[in-house]
Amino acid sequence: MTTAADFDKKYNIVDEKPPRHSLLRGRFKRSFAYYTLRERLPVILTQVLDNLSRDKDDIAEQYGEEVREEIKEIVGNISKLKYQLQTDKALEPFTGNEPDKEMWNAFIAGLNADNDTFFRICWLHGECYMYRRLSSYFQSMIKMKDYDYFLKQKENALKCCTDALENVVNSTRDSVLSEEFFIRILKLNLWGNRCDLSISEGKEIKQTGNLFDSVDSLNSNILVDDTKQIWNCISEPIEGNSRIIDFVQDNSGFEMFTDLLVAEYLIDKNLATKIRFHVKAIPWFISDVTPNDFLWTLDYLRNHPTSTVLRSVGEKWYKLLQDGKFEIAPQEWFWTSPYEFYRMKEINEKLYNKLAESHIVIFKGDLNYRKLIGDFTWDFTENFKTCLRGFQPTNVCTLRTVKADLICGLKEGTADNLDKIKPDWMVTGEFGVLQFSSST
């Protein structure tokens, strides 16, 4: 067995933190990138393998006996991917027929030959590659082409928290148009981002209690609070008679439920006329919402087996979708590309222009934050706008619980203080930011 010391020596891992003003990379042992590549991602791949083996009879029943051959091939491929990750191999071009193949292959071809392996490449790029590669094994099959290997976990993430869902619905039915109410619901949405399944390596994270009533108690965990600016932007009078607000969504389950609560509020209070939801084209970072998850969530809620409260809210949201006030944006492969958002205009100008139609884009979660500011060791006090490197299609805000070792916009001294009292403050999801950058 390779010990940690053997591994580090063999693959030139340095026992340091990533230096300031550089890319986050797994070759720095004192980084979350190293821990993720070494510990978390192999566990996630193993779980996909275990789940396929556990579910193979059910899959065969659903897709027909021939699917067993596909499962065998996929299992072999995933095992190979795990080996490549664990032996720091180079990223390889894609050979299938996926619509984003050219975009990915151009990206891989552009990598510097000295820095093109899992632990040497920028962490963001390597981690996205792993999920994209995993998806390619399924996409190349005939029967299992659209099989979602994270589906059960995602569905369970909603099914397991009926009480918490009912509680937040009950607390938000007599909503009022006010800054205070809006900010509470936005903070609820922020804390919903703690429930992502990739930080827990796929293990269930169950939201309990009434998060809407307890958001105030979490205020001291908010490290950057631009909610006032966000409210000022959102409450500006609508020019003409239409206003789009975009959500670039993150996780299914409780978090997505709170996205819908905010969206409903924006429509009910005439702060927007349409809410556009951007979702992922393929299973992504375990819990991210796909079009199917979005539709399933509304369907599950409106037919909820036990809760009339959830049935009624599900029906209302379904109607908003039917009426075009909620819209699932057309599938965009850019969201599952390795690219940081500052490169969107160059790589996918159509998407950039589409976002520019919107009054404000709300980016949800840790991965979107990493793509907003790049996997880069900015000074923790650096201005959010600077870190966006010109990505400003319209007003931009981000709601993110901190689950990766990068951040910006902190006050002088905040990070030093947290380092003393809570050394792992950057990777637990206990802390959050709500940051805003105005287009004007």
In the bound state with ligand F6P, the residue whose beta carbon lies nearer, of 88 and 366, is: 366
State the Cα–Cα distance between residues 256 and 270, nearest whole angstrom: 21
Out of 98, 148, 166, 250, the residue judged to bind Mg ion by CB under 5 A: 250
What residues does 326 pair with on adjacent strands? Answer: 275
In the bound state with ligand F6P, the residue whose beta carbon lies nearer, of 251 and 336, is: 251
Q: Take residue 226 and report the two structure tokens written for it.
A: 């631009």
- CA nearest 249: which of 267, 236, 263, 264? 263
DSSP 3-state percent helix, strand, coil across the chain (nearest 5): 50, 10, 40
Contact of residue 36 among Mg ion, ligand F6P, none (CB under 5-8 Å per partner type): ligand F6P
In the bound state with Mg ion, the residue whose beta carbon lies nearer, of 200 and 221, is: 200
Q: Pattern of binders to ligand F6P over 116-145, x per CB under 6 A?
A: -----------x------------------
Q: Which amino acid is at 140?
A: S
Contact of residue 117 among Mg ion, ligand F6P, none (CB under 5-8 Å per partner type): none
SS3 276: strand
Q: How far is the CB of 373 from Mg ion (least distance, A)?
A: 17
Out of 117, 251, 392, 437, the residue judged to bind ligand F6P by CB under 6 A: 251
Looking only at residues 288 through 317 of this chain, which bind Mg ion when binding is defined by CB under 5 A?
A: 288
Out of 199, 205, 211, 245, the residue judged to bind ligand F6P by CB under 6 A: 199
Q: How far is the CB of 64 from ligand F6P (least distance, A)?
A: 34
- Residue 405 within binding range of ligand F6P, rule CB under 6 A: no
The footprint of ligand F6P on this chain (CB under 6 A) covers a number of residues equal to 15
Looking only at residues 192 through 211 of this chain, which bind Mg ion when binding is defined by CB under 5 A?
A: 196
Q: Cβ atoms within 10 A of the Cβ of 145, count?
A: 10
Q: How far is the CB of 172 from Mg ion (least distance, A)?
A: 23
Reduce the secondary structure of 284-343 to three states and give it as a string. Answer: CCCCECCHHHHHHHHHHHHCCCCCHHHHHHHHHHHHHHHCCCEEECCCCHHHHCCCCHHH
- Residue 196 within binding range of ligand F6P, rule CB under 6 A: yes
Q: Take residue 194 and report the two structure tokens written for it.
A: 């703690």
In the bound state with ligand F6P, the residue whose beta carbon lies nearer, of 36 and 392, is: 36
State the Cα–Cα distance between residues 211 and 189, nearest whole angstrom: 10
DSSP single-letter state for residue 410: P
In the bound state with ligand F6P, the residue whose beta carbon lies nearer, of 126 and 393, is: 126
Q: Take residue 415 and report the two structure tokens written for it.
A: 């990070």
Task: Give the largest Cα separation in the chain, rounded.
Answer: 67
382-386 contacts, C-beta under 8 A, 24 or more apart: 382/408, 382/409, 383/408, 383/409, 384/224, 384/408, 384/409, 384/435, 384/436, 384/437, 385/437
By the 8 A CB rule, do 407 and 426 touch?
A: yes
Q: How far is the CB of 370 from ligand F6P (least distance, A)?
A: 6
Q: How far is the CB of 251 from ligand F6P (least distance, A)?
A: 5
Supply φ then ψ for residue 312, to 5 degrees. -70, -40
- Residue 285 within binding range of ligand F6P, rule CB under 6 A: yes
State the Cα–Cα distance between residues 334 and 281, nearest whole angstrom: 9
Out of 8, 264, 332, 366, the residue judged to bind ligand F6P by CB under 6 A: 366
Out of 28, 285, 326, 425, the residue judged to bind Mg ion by CB under 5 A: 285
* H/E run at residue 380: none
Q: Which of these segments, 7-15, 154-162, 194-202, 339-347, binds ligand F6P (CB under 6 A)?
A: 194-202
Q: Which residues bind ligand F6P (CB under 6 A)?
A: 36, 127, 193, 196, 198-199, 250-251, 285, 365-367, 370, 403-404
Binding site for Mg ion (CB under 5 A): 196, 250-251, 285, 288
